[in-house]
Amino acid sequence: MNSIPNAQAAEIEELETQVDGLVARIARIETANDEFIPWEMHKRLSAGENAVKVWREHRDMSAIALAGAASVGEAQLLAYEAGGPEPGLRALARIAQVLRLDVDDLVPPQHDDIAAE
């Protein structure tokens, strides 16, 4: 009589082990295409350096190549990288596409002044 609960407990434990293994495999599959960035690049982005410039350099692209591939003026791109006006959402979307990123990766985080009060 005592062996039945032990057998069920062992079976439950084995099934839980299998579930844990499957969850780990799913997590690896879901993150297989995630890009991990070097620490130096993370520091540059965290310090507020222009994300387009950081990613462009990470992708080993010149400003001329990125501007041409994204159909953006080179002067406009260089001005934006230097802190000038944002090129606009459509241009940022094209730049993001060429750099294989989401637009969100290129837009600096906005500070919520209301939350700071």
* Domain match, 48 and 77 both: yes
Whether 46 and 96 map to the same domain: the answer is: yes
Tell if the pTM clears 0.85, that is, is over it: no
Question: How many domains does the chain fold into?
Answer: 2
Q: Mean of the pLDDT values across residues 17-26?
A: 84
104 plus 66 within the same structural domain:
yes
In Å, how far are 50, 60, 106 from 100, measured between CA atoms?
17, 13, 11
Co-location of 93 and 107 in the same domain: yes
Task: Answer whether 50's CB lies under 8 Å from 81's CB.
Answer: yes
Helices 51-58 and 74-81 cross at an angle (nearest 10°) of 110
Please tell me whether residues 58 and 99 are part of one structural domain.
yes
Domain carrying residue 81: 39-116
pLDDT at residue 16 tops 70: yes
Looking at per-residue confidence, does 11 or 3 come out higher? Answer: 11
How many helices (H) and strands (E) the chain has is answered by 7, 0
Mean pLDDT, rounded, for 4-31: 83
Give the three-class secondary structure for 55: helix
